[in-house]
A and B are shown apart, each in its own frame.
Chain A
Amino acid sequence: MDNEVLLSLDNVAVELGGALRVAQASFKLQAGEIASVVGANGAGKTTLLRAIAGDFMRKHEISGEITFYGHPLHALLPRQRALRMAVLAQQNTLGFPFLVREVIALGRAPHDTGAVNDNKIVEHCAEQFDVRHLLGRIYTELSGGERQRVHLARVFAQLAAPGEAADARLLLLDEPMNALDYKHQQQVAAAIAGIAEHNVAVLQVMHDINLATQYSTRVLALLNGKLHSDGDVANFMQAHILNAVFDIDARLMQHPDSGRAMLA
């Protein structure tokens, strides 16, 4: 099961408003992997993630083939996708006064697992992201970081599987550490590592290179919409790759505990 390919992209290109945002993207992802997508501003990270999320469906926008658990992505109904794929967007614009509990429970919408199970899942996910004490609060009154954690809890609730033998699932995160302080960044990283062990593949857009490399098993680096490098962290953390991807003069140092390479 673990070695089965969950997601596969074959020569995917995305063209928006006449500009080619992603080109020739081909890679495969399997459950258990935590892959970070990195790159300079405008390199096409979010576009790549949204293409996999199914946000571009028009013929003139997207070409190539995206296969999700053995099916062409465009042939799956929204509900079929929602049962196996959860997406955290970069920005969330909920302007209505839901309670935090209700927002997290929205993640259970595709499932028919019953209110009792769903309540347990909501509380568990709230606990994971340290928003349990906020469950009875009104979402619109929260701070940016608190909102981000509520949405993280919502997408984790969407992928929660009460049964033992859950199908392989995909978690897409666009800048999950947005607006979070260091303590909560670590909590989120732990939660991501935890869910990856339960038959979930994680693909996350990361801004901060040190965060990305510290908490992932694989790095996909985009340069001008093209996949420049794809491999494990050690492979990515080389000065010539960093220099090319970010157009900088990279200085590397070693992490005092793990010995991993870090960008100074």
Chain B
Amino acid sequence: MSRARPLSSTALAAIGSAALLFALLWAISTGAVSLGLGQIKAALFAPGTTASAPLGASEIVTHAGDIKLAEVIVWQLRLPRVLLAACVGALLALGGAIMQGLFRNPLADPSLIGVTAGSIAGASAVIVLGDATGLTFNAGNDTAQHVLATLPLVSLGAFAGGLVAAWLVYRLATDANGTSVSTMLLAGIALTALAGSFGSLLEFFADNTMLRRISIWRMGGLEGASYTGVIIAASCLALMLFALPYYSRALNLMLLGESEARHLGVNVEKLKWALVLLVALATGISVALAGAIAFIGLVVPHIVRLLVGPDHRQLLPLCALVGATLLVLADALARSVIAPAELPVGVLTAMLGAPFFISLLRQRGQYGF
């Protein structure tokens, strides 16, 4: 058993939790201004108190200034950002793992088969059409506040777009005999192209500020992180983690095939709808909040499966954990490699993930497709 499975799920859960904690701390400390552990601790657990230590007058000014600066950096900039990265990373990995279970194929990833593109189109449509019809538009108010106010609505648009795309690809690529990988990937190309042309169409109606906001999604990034975003992502993640134990066993049976799952007592039609909804939720919310971040949904479930096996009862929570860790690390890396400038994190994950995907394609015979 130990030869077939390098790690027990408990061991991976322990290692993953420790790694996530380390990643969060490192990500908070790193960036244009480096912070020490002491500063982070002070800013997090005792905001505003340390400055009253008895020091000389000039020292008080600089020290208090430091504390204040550290506090602002931690609370206003880095904490929402790393929390959002953690939630989005978990959502992306879960979305990928669920989609692979639904398609019975380890190559299915929302960003490869057009679901992400559908979400972007949905989000863009809400931005442009919402502004054009005055639904979300306050004249002359394109501030950060405005972005925040429209965030729930944009998330909803991304969710709807992802839902349509996921359902379409599933209907196209899967029949009673299983999933056709080539149809699935080709349907993904077609949907991405369709969503892209829909985006171009929207650009005719968009003004400069709309265009700028749309382009942020295309690149993928976490620099716009806010607590509103963190709350949306965290509640969505909580909902999924709460719902998933109910579906894990049925997902295991789905891997045998749709008919086989039905013969083993699964209400397959209901299950498929629930899974497509969950995938669209995970993808849509992460796209609305952090743009298109590719390959997390492909790489993370693959690694976790190699380590502990494909049983969804363990796979799904562990994917959430590893996905969170990986995106927090990737974002910290994206902020520090060319500091003080930043790489979009989506560019970084794509650079790491694309070769991984190609290597998977090369061994796909091993998966029986």
Contacts and interface: CB of A to CB of B under 8 A. Distances in A.
The listed residue with most A CB atoms (<10 A of its CB), out of B176, B178, B262, is: B262
Contact-residue size bin, chain A (C-beta under 8 Å from the other chain): 20 to 34
A74 to B, nearest CB: 13
Interface string B352-369: 000000000000001111
Interface stretch (B55-63, B253-261, B284-292, B317-325): B253-261
Interface string B236-275: 0000000000000100110111011011111110000000
B106 A53 contact: no
Contact of B309 (A55, A91, A97): A97
Nearest to A55: B259
Interface string A132-174: 0000111010000000000000000010000000000000000
A89 interface: yes
A85 B176 CA distance: 19
Contact of B262 (A54, A97, A138): A54
B311 interface: yes
Contact of B264 (A91, A95, A97, A107): A107
A164 B266 CA distance: 27
A87 B265 contact: no
A230 B292 CA distance: 61
Given A55-B259, A140-B366, A96 B265 contact: no
A85 B305 contact: no
Contacts of A85: 263
A103 to B, nearest CB: 8
Interface string A79-110: 10111011101011111111100100011011
Contacts of A79: 265, 267
Contacts of B262: 54-55, 78
A93 B178 contact: yes
A107 B263 CA distance: 10
B333 to A, nearest CB: 30
A55 B177 CA distance: 12
Contacts of A55: 176, 259, 262
A98 B252 CA distance: 10
B46 interface: no
B4 interface: yes
Of all A-B residue pairs in the complex, the 8 with the closest CB atoms, nearest first, are A82-B265, A110-B265, A79-B265, A96-B310, A95-B367, A87-B263, A95-B368, A136-B1
21 contacts: A50-B259, A54-B262, A54-B263, A55-B176, A55-B259, A78-B265, A87-B260, A93-B104, A93-B368, A94-B255, A94-B257, A95-B105, A97-B305, A97-B310, A98-B310, A109-B252, A109-B264, A109-B265, A109-B266, A136-B4, A140-B368
Interface of B: 1, 3-5, 104-106, 176-178, 249, 252-253, 255-257, 259-260, 262-268, 305-306, 309-311, 366-369
